[in-house]
A and B are shown apart, each in its own frame.
Chain A
Amino acid sequence: MQIRKLNTLITGASRGLGRALAETLAGAGARVVLVARDAAVLDDVVDGIRRRGGTAHAIAADVGDKQATHAIAGEAAALIGPIDLMINNASSLGPTPLPLLLDTECEDLERVLEVNVVGPFRLTKVIAGSMVLRGRGTLINISSDAAVAAYPTWGAYGASKAALDHLTRIWAAELDGTGVRFLSVDPGEMDTAMHAAAIPDADPAELARPADVAARIVDMVRRIDAAPTGARLEARAWRVLQ
């Protein structure tokens, strides 16, 4: 798939992997709409992309808010046209230090599911339809090895990512043959603010840099036809999992 002029929507784009993906895709000529809650930080990222000659727009919104769904989808399509690539990257760990599941407050679990599962569900619901009608489009849902392995204290986050992986597989099954592709991507452990919040004593030197992981994911987007729809991919090794 050609990245140049690819209409792309990325959530959680103000920092970490989302920011790196937005910068890498815009650097390769994609038209990128960045979504995040913090308008000021997001504007800085967009300004940086524009200074380097890229096309980028900021939408300050919370993907965990149902009222924001049509605003995000409508504003994005109004600014760059129908979306070709959507990356559901925004996610919430819940409160840190990460609690045991039995210690997790009900409302905290609900909020994690709202941002990590229901948010991508809603955005996909209002954006993937136009892709199916046009016969092309790619949706990438950012996953985690916590979706597969049962790590103690990662209950809310791990369960949310497992649910997102399964949504991805079902969307892929239901829309197989329409030209719209769904993928889960496990980016691996990265040196991000989220990782530091989850595992404060991790050695940053042992963690991948978001920019390197983003470069690998963008490389995968270029060769997207090699990945069967519904697949779960690992960015570190570039192999299809399961």
Chain B
Amino acid sequence: MRIPILEAAAVNDAGSDDIAALARHYGPGVLRAAWRVLGNRAAAEDVQQQLFLRLIESPPQRVDSWPAYLTASATRLAIDHLRRQRRWRMLAPLWKTDFPDDPPDEDVERQQASDFLRAALARINPRDASCFVLRHLHGLAPAAIGAALGLSENHVSVSVHRARKALEAMQTKEQTR
């Protein structure tokens, strides 16, 4: 059954002013979401700015939940960043990072956990990595992840499971070294 008025309501027309308002409200959350993946302030800020500037250039057609959509987009961009960073490091092992390092975490175990997770996320399928981070690091429900990434809930669950298995295998391998 088609209801024109509902179809019209589902389409968003986000202008520049709208994006500026979104940035004001949700900018800090986007930054924190990117930082949780990247562990680097400068890189997280780069993701934050990139995300909102992209929205100004090409606003999405339909968004069911802006907080979930923005968190998912920040996560995807952050994982892309990790993968790019890994490629550069493979090509030029002497280069450290393209952004200045943050001061190290005072808690060594926490710093090591964060380093491991970043390196591991850069090595697995990027969609699986996004689903895993959104589910386990950001605490989004599978339905919300699916809506934000355009996947079915079932697909999200499979991706999360696949990522978990891959990360567990990497962790076991690292611990037995």
The yes or no verdict on A and B being binding partners is no
